[in-house]
Structure 1
């Protein structure tokens, strides 16, 4: 009792001194309040500095020396900083009743806000522990095939529900148990009335927790005709600005219920994929004779390849006594094979292609439109306009290079081609 009285007298010290000096009582009370608040504010700043300077830094030093990664994840989740807020809160909790002893109307409101903040801080601290446990377990080999992410999402949702229940109970002045019972009885009606809101709320939590979509991401959502950058994400809808500057609105819950394409991975990767084929007329593919090889040796990018490859072929054919009076016998180079090597060498020489990623020139299965020769590589520049320029530059060159290898590109005949054939046939018939 004496301790509480002494503690109270300490907070009224300035007021008592001023009153004893003849200052008006009301003025003394307000000056006393201002001084106490200033001292409390300085104490909170000092406490936070000490915690940040010593406690948090000590925790960082401790994590650097331990072998386990659990404490590293605790540090990443700001757990020490969140826990460090408890000491300033205790200062506030034990000081407010004495500071605002003469202001009962303010004291009640401040205690209410204090309780709300304590609930939120408790949820925040537990959330840090859940995220730390999730990240730590995902690094353990024995949990590699377990859906740890899904489990943590469920726990986080339950945690926030409990937190909101305590907040509502604090606002309404009812106990948490009675509030939960009332909420359970009205759940059927709430689910019916707020179905879209609840779906959007759950979806927004999952989108945020799983980092499915961010503002600024380029997404393609064929079902809704969306193809562009995400400009807004809220509880009910996601707004996408398409490349033609129109806007498409997508329900938030469709991001977790339907399939769509997010191009963020490409934008964050070291290259953007180029995948396109040119179609070779199959009748133009042939074996190369000595005259052809001599001519193709003039092409710088494949001259070394032709020499090395032909030496291997000659050794094989001579060793096995192959009759080369017929080109079909034994091993031979083809104009398509040399052109394929040329395309590969050209891509490796191209300054805009990322050499650390795949560079593949391959044949696909023959089609009615010819033999597809597919180019698969990655451009360094991922910006759309520059990517298209690089792609066009590559295929401009390769298409122009095809005739130098005695190859022909397939192209379906147009109306003029058919008309010219008919005219030639008619002219030949008249001459006959």
Structure 2
């Protein structure tokens, strides 16, 4: 620094005596040096970094730095540092020198913060291209880092412009801590929530979640510090505050996909008037179904043994044990599910149960898990199963319950009209015999 001042003093001996001319020359030199550093520095830094990162096998970092304009901001930072250092070339204008020094130093710190923020942006870009980013998001942490950098930068800039120590400014923040807590309430809540969601693996990018209170039903496409974006099935995007996903309930379907099975839980409502006992002839006829062959054989033997113990009371139909069409239907559906190649059988429950009869029929619930979890495959398998089940009902003398439709009403009206016409014709025939 002493040598620089000596060189400057020797240089001023050859300068014009007028102070304003010296100031103009100094300002021109400062602008020239600063501009040269900005242009040349960006080019040199870009070339050197590209070479080093390519040799290290991290060329994606170089591309990320270029897209984030990190090299450009770093060169501008060096340019403002040069201005702050060269402000001593204005010795005869103390106020101008002080102003130029403080402003350039403040801008230097601003661009230092900007450069560091672009580095964090480049980090996010390179991380997002990795497979790890599909399960763990660091965007929230990087956004927090950017906020911290903004806070540090604000303190440094204000301390430079006011010529006060940054430590004194930080000590004064305690007096307004309550205000800061109020202003940054959402940020603090989101920070805690984002940390918990990520560290406990509660939410990942690509998870299918349902959150009805926020009208969200779709896949998570972004997890940031303050918000989580969910792309719904209709391609709309719902933005949810991060802290809501920690404080409010939602359903995550990821574990269903990981388990390898997707549940089918659907009922078939049987018309109660079609439920009855099977005759021996019907049982013999149903033996042609391979899925019922073993069931009917075992059941008929068990029924015969039970009825033999009744003696003479077996002649009363109410005393005898008999097979029903709905029980045989349940046995068939269970056997069908157990042999279905696309139904999962390991570590899951597969059952067919008859539920409490209701005014709209007797519900028979099918409960099982498909071996494929993709939506299209799931709906295909479920559709195939119920197509087969519904088509089987007439074979067992069962009818599906359904609310009367307009077609049924018209048929009923036609029947009533025909009945009335028949009665009128009969009445006329009785009154006017041939």
Give the TM-score of the pair, scaled to structure 2: 0.58
**Which of 281, 287, 290 matches 1:291?**
281
Aligned to 1:186: 176
CA RMSD of aligned residues (A): 3.2
Aligned equivalents of 1:178, 1:288: Cα separation in 2: 94
* Of 330-339 and 390-399, the range deviating more from structure 2: 330-339
Aligned equivalents of 2:169, 2:365: Cα separation in 1: 65
Aligned to 1:256: 246
Shift of 1:326: 3.5
Aligned equivalents of 2:178, 2:305: Cα separation in 1: 84
Distance 1:232-1:318 versus aligned 2 partners, 3 A rule: same
Aligned to 1:392: 383
Distance 1:175-1:273 versus aligned 2 partners, 3 A rule: farther
**Which of 339, 346, 353 matches 2:336?**
346
- After TM superposition, list the pairs within 5 Å mapping 1:7-406 onto structure 2: 182-321=172-311, 323-356=313-346, 357-406=348-397
Q: Contact 2:278–2:323 at 8 Å: present in 1 too? A: yes
Shift of 1:256: 1.2
Q: Contact 2:308–2:314 at 8 Å: present in 1 too? A: no
Aligned to 1:410: 401
Q: Contact 2:274–2:399 at 8 Å: present in 1 too? A: yes
Structure 2, unaligned runs of 5 or more = 1-140, 424-434
Q: Contact 2:291–2:335 at 8 Å: present in 1 too? A: yes
Classify the secondary structure of the residue corresponding to 1:259: coil
Distance 1:188-1:399 versus aligned 2 partners, 3 A rule: same
Classify the secondary structure of the residue corresponding to 1:283: helix
1:284-312 Cα deviation digits (max 9, x unpaired): 11112211211111211011111111111
Aligned equivalents of 1:322, 1:281: Cα separation in 2: 34
Shift of 1:270: 2.3
1:331-384 Cα deviation digits (max 9, x unpaired): 221111111000000001111001112111011111221011111111111000
Distance 1:295-1:185 versus aligned 2 partners, 3 A rule: same
**Which of 397, 403, 418 matches 1:427?**
418
Aligned equivalents of 1:307, 1:394: Cα separation in 2: 25
Q: Contact 1:324–1:330 at 8 Å: present in 2 too? A: yes
Classify the secondary structure of the residue corresponding to 2:320: coil
1:244-265 Cα deviation digits (max 9, x unpaired): 1111111111101211110011
Classify the secondary structure of the residue corresponding to 2:246: helix
Aligned equivalents of 1:397, 1:207: Cα separation in 2: 44
Aligned to 1:106: none
Aligned equivalents of 1:307, 1:175: Cα separation in 2: 95
Shift of 1:316: 1.4
Aligned equivalents of 2:321, 2:312: Cα separation in 1: 9
Aligned equivalents of 2:361, 2:169: Cα separation in 1: 73
Alignment length (residue pairs): 276
Aligned equivalents of 1:334, 1:176: Cα separation in 2: 88
Greater Cα radius of gyration, structure 1 or 2: 2
